[in-house]
Amino acid sequence: MSLAVVQSKSLYVPVSSDASLPFVETNVGFSVRYLSQEDFFDYFFRNYQGFVCVFQKIDADRKGNERRRQMFFRNNDSDRERMFRTLSYYGWDTYVSYSTYYRGRKRDKADVLRTQENIVCTHMLVQDLDYYKFNISDAQALQFIGKWIAEGSIIAPNIIISTGRGLQLLWKIAPIKMKKGTPTDIDWHAIQSHMKNLLQSLNSDNVVKNPSAVTRVPETKHRKSGNKVYAYQVSDSELTLLDFIDFYDLVPSTDRKVKPKKSVASKSTVAHLVSSWNEFTLNRERENDIFRFVEERNRRNEPYYAKRNWLALVLRFHALVSSDGDINYAEQRVKELCTILDLADTSEEEILRRSKPAERFYEEWQNDTWNRERYTQGGLFYSNRRLLELMGIQDDYEMQVKLKTIKIRNKAYEAAKKRLEREAKGMGTIDQYHARRVAEKESKLQQLRIAMETHPHATRRQLADLLGITPPRVTQLKKELLGG
């Protein structure tokens, strides 16, 4: 059922005017597109897992206490229809969570559902701007945002929501798991905190640091101001956390300190480095693997823009470790990397600047001043599995074969390794090998047919000598010629 039909059957029909769109475009400085309530949900939650949570502030009871309710909806047609009917019926102070949830029903009255532990995936990054408390107008706030986007100070949000008394900026991200303490959780919070600080002059709210927090739903109303909530699409890009980390010059987290109590058995195993490798060899090969990765991406003509600064940072750190803290050597290694990097929209000076924090990580590791509550060790010692994730090559086994220290050994890896070994020996692919075998067999059959016609009384041994094959092979070929 469409949103319009649902609304036509309800007590409250939201205002559908988009008259304020010119106001937004004029002040933000670029074109935007009006998003309906239905468009908004389809944009962020088209194929979600678990339950989407709609949160509502209803009204005050007789004692003046605010009443609230939250509802959870599965990803099916009946729940979708029920959700839009609910949104249309109430229409005031209605929100949707940044995340989806495993459970949508309480076990008891004390049970809390909208918690990080219950999150299936988080679908967005959000900033909530209450600039009106600083006596900043809507027009001024939009002008600031447009200016910062144009200057490249912030990534353009996908959606700008006019809440009726402020603005919320929403960035769509590929759905991510948010288990506490994992690298994804740490990175998401770091990005939210960083963007909050960047937008502090517009009175950004601390609530956005919680992945189970909520944002206002378009085409509802703000009860206190009486204004309608509007949503405007600015960009259609879907970025990864690593894109934000690179843009804002942040460092992706290494692995968490505490491993899961239960490990899932798997035939895939992370390759362990040879025990005879010393610290120098290990870190020097990590350096070389950065170069191998870039060279292979260049050969394939595959982009790696969002990884350039991070690759240089990791390279510089491992160069410091392998050289016992030789700053000049580490810097020179980054300069060497720049000679093969695609430096579009950046420069060697920028890469050097963004990789310099490696010296701080090295010092913290050397002086034992790193965060022991969060990490198993100091520095930038990523595990192989985490490196594969950050480099985006979890399933790129041909790339892993070319690397010395970063790989997962399983059947797919071994198959890729054998294929590359065959190609290196000039044997071609397995398909080419089978095709060649078939052609060779057809050739031998033809040769045997001619030999038998030319020498009808020849023995098996004589035919074998003529064709350069063994007598048993002659017997096999004869059977095929004679039909079994």
Q: How far is CA 141 from CA 135, 150, 153, 195, in A?
A: 10, 14, 15, 16
- Break the chain into its structural domains and give their ranges: 3-247, 269-424, 430-481
SS (H, E, C) the chain: CCHHHHHHCCCCCCCCCCCCHHHHHHHHCCCCEEECHHHHHHHHHCCCCCEEEEEEEEEECCCCCEEEEEEEECCCHHHHHHHHHHHHHHCECEEEEEEEECCCCCCCCCCCCCCHHHEEEEEEEEEEECHHHHCCCHHHHHHHHHHHHHHCCCCCCCEEEECCCCEEEEEEEEEECCCCCCHHHHHHHHHHHHHHHHCHHHCECHHHHCCCCEEECCCCECCCCCCECEEEECCCCCECHHHHHHHCCCCCCCCECCCCCCCCCCCCEECCCCCCCCHHHHHHHHHHHHHHHHHHHHHHCCCCHHHHHHHHHHHHHHHHHHCCCCHHHHHHHHHHHHCCCCCCCCCHHHHHHHHCCHHHHHHHHHHCCCCCCCECCCCCCCCHHHHHHHHCCCCCHHHHHHCCCCCEECHHHHHHHHHHHHHHCCCCCHHHHHHHHHHHHHHHHHHHHHHHHHCCCCCHHHHHHHHCCCHHHHHHHHHHHCCC
In the prediction, which pLDDT does 462 show?
A: 87
In the prediction, which pLDDT does 144 show?
A: 95
Using only C-alpha atoms, the chain has a radius of gyration, in whole angstroms, of 31
In the prediction, which pLDDT does 351 show?
A: 95
Q: Rounded to the nearest 10 degrees, how much is the dihedral formed by the CA atoms of 45, 51, 52, 58?
A: 160
95 close to 56: Cβ distance less than 8 angstroms: yes
231 close to 161: Cβ distance less than 8 angstroms: yes
Query: Nearest 5 degrees, angle CA 39-CA 43-CA 44?
Result: 125
pTM of this structure? 0.71
56 close to 98: Cβ distance less than 8 angstroms: no
194 close to 121: Cβ distance less than 8 angstroms: no
Residue 69 corresponds to which amino acid? R
Ramachandran angles phi, psi of 157, nearest 5°: -70, 155
Ramachandran angles phi, psi of 6, nearest 5°: -60, -45
Distance, in Å, from the CA atom of 424 to the CA atom of 432, rounded to the nearest integer, reads 14
Tokens representing residue 480 in the block: 């095929």
In the prediction, which pLDDT does 278 show?
A: 65
Distance, in Å, from the CA atom of 335 to the CA atom of 338, rounded to the nearest integer, reads 5
* Pairing label, strands 159-162, 167-176: antiparallel
In the prediction, which pLDDT does 8 show?
A: 36
In the prediction, which pLDDT does 375 show?
A: 61
Residues of the chain where predicted confidence (pLDDT) is lower than 50: 1-19, 257-276
In the prediction, which pLDDT does 340 show?
A: 96
In the prediction, which pLDDT does 395 show?
A: 87
